[in-house]
């Protein structure tokens, strides 16, 4: 329809909202926390190895990870920048020999996180994390794409702005292998899910009993008061 009207969509690299909102408040950087091995059942560097194996199958030289839940799962860290979601704003690029972590440095300043990601000891090792400025991902993608043998793995729903930085002939467009990896739970994760559901079942049973008792008493209850009570039980 647009073509028939001689209308062409053109990608704009700069954020137009920033142009009309010059005094926009800066992002409140909240620190991330380590998700211990006892809950994940797999170290982050072993997950990276699995991703690199999938990359090798299709000759990809780099894989861009933009889905926030995938980043949290891959690196075994959790955030609290989005309500009710344990994620944080960041990007990750996995190459054949390194992991680039594009994130505000203040979010990962805690010693435990630094040690977990091996940030302070990263000196050319294969399995360590290199922290990069959050807004430097576009420039890094251009560098990675400049190689004659570059093949950049991007997911179908990845940011169009980042796709503009990768020549079309160097894009491998397919869903991230991390999606399937996340869905296949290991024994530790299965145990954790069962335990979490057991705890929530107890909370629900206690809540239902409380609600029934309030109804019998003809007490004044509202959706808001019940919600607060449910949070107490949980």
Report which of residues 108 and 9 the model is more confident about: 108
Tokens, residue 187: 């024994």
Separation of alpha carbons 45 and 37, rounded Å: 12
Q: Are 101 and 127 in contact (CB under 8 A)?
A: no
Query: Is pLDDT at 63 greater than 90 in this prediction?
Result: yes
> For the CA atoms of the chain, what is the radius of gyration?
23
Which CB contacts under 8 angstroms, 24+ apart, belong to 69-72?
Answer: 69/182, 70/176, 70/178, 70/179, 70/182, 72/35
Cα distance between residue 123 and residue 103, in whole Å? 19
Q: Are 177 and 51 in contact (CB under 8 A)?
A: yes
Q: How far, CA to CA in Å, does 143 sit from each of 4, 62, 94, 148, 226?
A: 37, 11, 14, 11, 55
Cα 19 off chain centre by: 28
- Distance between CA atoms of residues 55 and 96, nearest Å: 8
Q: What is the pLDDT of residue 120?
A: 67
The pLDDT, as a whole number, for residue 68 is 96
Sorting pLDDT into bands at 50, 70 and 90, what band is 27?
confident
pLDDT in tens, 68-107: 999 999 999 999 999 889 999 999 999 999 999 999 999 9
Name the pTM for this structure. Answer: 0.86
Q: What pLDDT score was predicted for residue 31?
A: 93
Helices 187-216 and 223-233: crossing angle, nearest 10°? 140
Average pLDDT over the chain, rounded to whole? 91
124-148: pLDDT as tens digits: 555 778 999 999 999 999 999 999 9
Distance from C-alpha of 211 to C-alpha of 205, rounded to nearest angstrom: 10
Q: What is the mean pLDDT of residues 183-198?
A: 95
The contacts of residue 148 (CB under 8 Å, 6+ apart) are none
């Amino acid at each position: 329809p647009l073509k028939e009207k001689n209308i062409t969509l053109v990608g704009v690299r700069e954020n137009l909202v920033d142009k009309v909102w010059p005094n926009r408040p800066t992002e409140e950087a909240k620190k991330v926390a380590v998700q211990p091995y006892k809950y994940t059942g797999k170290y982050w560097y072993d997950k990276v190895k699995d991703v690199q194996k999938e990359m090798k199958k299709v000759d990809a030289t780099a894989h861009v990870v933009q889905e926030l839940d995938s980043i949290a799962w891959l690196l075994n860290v959790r955030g609290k920048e989005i309500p009710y979601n344990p994620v944080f704003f960041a990007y990750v690029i996995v190459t054949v020999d390194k992991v680039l972590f594009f994130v505000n440095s203040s979010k990962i300043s805690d010693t435990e996180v630094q040690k977990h990601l091996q940030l302070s000891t990263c000196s050319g090792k294969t399995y360590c994390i290199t922290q990069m400025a959050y807004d430097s991902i576009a420039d890094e993608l251009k560098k990675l794409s400049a190689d004659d043998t570059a093949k950049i793995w991007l997911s179908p729903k990845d940011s169009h702005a980042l796709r503009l930085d990768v020549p079309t002939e160097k894009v491998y467009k397919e869903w991230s292998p991390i999606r399937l990896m996340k869905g296949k739970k290991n024994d530790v994760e299965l145990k954790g899910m069962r335990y979490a559901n057991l705890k929530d079942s107890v909370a629900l049973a206690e809540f239902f009993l409380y609600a029934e008792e309030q109804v019998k008493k003809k007490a004044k209850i509202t959706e808001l008061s019940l919600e607060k009570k449910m949070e107490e039980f949980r």
